[in-house]
Amino acid sequence: MNRLTEFLLKIGKVDRRWIFIVLAVVVFIPIIKPIGMPIRATVTTKVVYDTIENLPPNSNVLVSIEYSPSTKPENHPMAISILRHLFKNDHKVFVTCLWPDGQFMAQDALKQVAEEEYGKIYGEDYVLLGFRPGGEAVIKGIVSNIRKLYTVDVNQTKIDEIPMMEGIYKFSDFAFLFTASAGFPGTVEWVQYASDPTGVPMSSGVTSIQVNEVMPYVQAGQMKGLLAGMPGAAEYEALIGQKGSATSGMDAQSIAHLVIVLFIILGNAAFFIERQRSRKY
Amino acid sequence: MSTTIILGAWIAVFLTLGIFSYLYKDNPFYKTAEHLFVGISAGYWTSLFFWTQIQPNLFGRLWPSSNYSSDSFWYMIYNGLGFFYSPGFPNGGVDKGHEIHNVVLGVPNVHYLIPFALGIMMLLSLIPKISWFARWGIAYTVGMAAGLRAYGFLNSNVIGQIKGTAASFSDPNLPFWSLTSPSIFNSIVILVGTITGLLYFYFSKEHKGVLGKISKVGIYFLMISFGASFGFAVMGRISLLIGRFVDLIKYSGSEYFNATLWILVAMIIILGYDAFKNRDKILPVSKDVA
């Protein structure tokens, strides 16, 4: 028992750089040698899938990209999977960006999915309207008159000259909104200024750190489901049957979590032993 | 593979490992990566804001090509600006498909002079003597944001949340027990959590007796919420780490001339040599690392 106590006390005093190295190793190994842990869709992910699945054919869907390369591992697989699902079901996809870097993330995703995988035609099947600065003011602009805010698309083509923009004047002309979001402005603002006031259904894929903030909207029925971080993206990949980078990252994610939990337990044990000893003496 | 892609990979690897090297200690690799990130971000954002909003939506409305006249004083100013910077002020006005709502003294869409002036006022903060002008622009932005948010939060976070979570206990279809769907139990938890959590932040009365006990329940609810946030934060950070590792592994391949391995080895040698040279001056690890 004494040996164990001493060991725990030693662990509690270990240089944090050793912990970084251990974490790096446990993340690195499963990426090189995947285990293939099973992925099961949670309710919130399933709701997003069902909502898109139940959209009438040829629906106008607005996809808003609000993330940058810094959260690409979490958000990009979501955007790719959602685009795959939308194009597979032959919906019209309109893409806007509230983040400047989002424009390039959107270009990357559209090139991969719309052009290379599904051979969709720009201007007829999908359009990239691009980035506009202003945060919630941009959302308000899209809600009231999208043509006032976007007179040209990302290629500087006039909106009136894009065939699929015919009949699109305001947010309520869309059947559904999906946002891939990493912070402000993002999902919360879309709920507050677009979906709630107009009643247009929306779903979102967010970074893990945002889940707690956004989940109340899902529970209250203000949003149709949620893709929560990399696990949410992996679950969606499983639902559409096309594995991607999120699925391959889930082994490393799960093992890293186990190691972190272990460190938390050991750290707490060391803390309580030390506190007990200091009380004694 | 093109030289640009290979060079990009080497830069990406250097910047990634430079940032990671901070976990060892603050060092010049980290500083280089940090400064490059801040500088490039500022330049990139400024350029993008100009080309996506200021040029098409502001200049496009103030100097639309559809109203262009070389004799007009207003367009003479435009031509003058075009002399200095023709990509932003192309010949014959800006053609971005904007409608003309009014023309006052030869100025189309004259009301757009207000945001133009406010924007210039913001830039005046760079000149100390007249930096107070910037307050006008800031005041407008803050006022507008406050007004917008007051509405948004009231509608979605107060009314929307109450509407969404309020449940009728007399509803025969509402089950008593369910954790994943609406139930009487869930509604009670939300009600108790909300009230006790709010009472924890009620500071007009000392937290003793009944109020003390209720606020203690509120603390437990808050702790559970913070715990969930911490868990999700860890999950997010690990996801990002996985993303960087995937790229580092990709760039360690022979098609990228083993960028990861070379840069990693070089960094370890340089940092190791530095630690050896300064072994007498080694300071304890800063507590704010991690």
- pLDDT tens for residues A113-170? 999 999 999 999 999 999 998 888 899 999 999 998 999 999 989 999 999 999 999 9
8 Å CB contact of B233 and A15: no
pLDDT at B290: 44
Taking the Cβ of residue B249 and every Cβ of chain A, the question of whether any pair is shorter than 8 Å is answered with yes
Total Cβ atoms within 10 A of residue B165: 17
A206 beta partners: A181, A228
For residue A180, the Cα-to-chain-centroid distance in whole angstroms is 5
Whether B245 and chain A come into contact, CB under 8 Å, resolves to yes
pLDDT digits (tens, 9 = 90+) for B166-207: 877 788 888 888 887 778 888 899 999 999 999 999 999 899
- Residue A150's nearest CA partner among A97, A204, A86 is A97
Residues of B in contact with A199 (CB under 8 A): none
**Rounded distance between C-alpha atoms, residue A219 and residue A223, angstroms:** 8
Q: A-chain residues within 8 Å CB-CB of B53?
A: 132-134
Chain-chain contact of A133 with B240 (C-beta, under 8 angstroms): no
B chain contacts of residue A221, beta-carbon cutoff 8 Å = 164
Residues of chain A above pLDDT 70, percent: 99
One-letter amino acid identity for B256?
Y
Is residue A118 packed enough to be buried (19+ CB in 10 Å), middle (13-18) or exposed (0-12)? middle
Is the Cβ–Cβ distance between B100 and B108 less than 8 Å?
yes
Coil, strand, or helix at residue A242?
coil
Q: Kindly list the residues from chain A whose CB atom is less than 8 angstroms away from the CB atom of residue B247.
A: none
pLDDT score at B286: 52
By CB atoms closer than 10 A (0-12, 13-18, 19+), residue A18 is exposed
B82 contacts chain A (CB < 8 A): no
State how far the alpha carbon of B158 is from the alpha carbons of A220, B150, B185, B188, B229, in Å. Answer: 11, 11, 21, 18, 21
Pick B216 or B181 by higher pLDDT: B216
- Residues of chain A with Cβ-Cβ distance to B235 below 8 Å are 208, 229-231, 253, 257
Where are chain A's structural domains? 2-33+250-280, 43-243
Q: Is B157 on the interface with A (CB under 8 A)?
A: yes
| Distance (Å, whole) CA A191 – CA A58 | 24
**Beta-carbon separation of B242 and A249 below 8 A:** yes
Chain A nearest-CA residue for B163: A220
Average pLDDT, chain B: 91
Q: Choose, out of B50, B242, B247, the residue to mutate when testing the contact with A (most A CBs < 10 Å).
A: B242
Q: Which of A5-14, A66-75, A237-246 has the lowest mean pLDDT?
A: A5-14
If one looks up domain A43-243 in CATH, what number appears?
3.40.50.10160
CA distance B64 to B208: 68
pLDDT tens for each residue of A52-108: 999 999 999 999 999 999 999 999 999 999 999 999 999 999 999 999 999 999 999
In tens, the pLDDT along B15-41 reads 999 999 999 999 999 999 999 999 999
Residue B274: partners with Cβ closer than 8 Å, 6 or more residues away: B27
Tell me what percent of the residues of chain A surpass a pLDDT of 90.
82
Which two tokens mark A266? 């050991």
The alpha carbon of residue A126 is apart from the nearest alpha carbon of chain B, in Å, by 20
According to the model, what pLDDT value does residue B5 have?
95
For chain B, the domains span: 109-166, 175-250
ipTM: 0.89
Burial class (CB in 10 A: 0-12, 13-18, 19+), A98: buried
Which site among A47, A210, A211 would you substitute to test the B interface, given the most B Cβ atoms closer than 10 Å to its Cβ? Answer: A211
Is the pLDDT at B131 greater than 80, yes or no?
yes
Work out the burial of residue B115: count CB atoms within 10 Å of its CB; fewer than 13 is exposed, 13-18 middle, 19 or more buried: middle
**Residue A225, pLDDT score:** 96
Give the single-character DSSP code of B283: P
Q: Which residue from A minimizes the CA distance to B246?
A: A31
Q: Is the pLDDT score of A235 beyond 80? A: yes
Instruction: Determine, for residues A208 and B239 on separate chains, whether the beta-carbon distance falls below 8 Å.
Output: yes
Residue-wise pLDDT for B264-289, tens only, equals 999 999 999 999 998 877 655 555 54
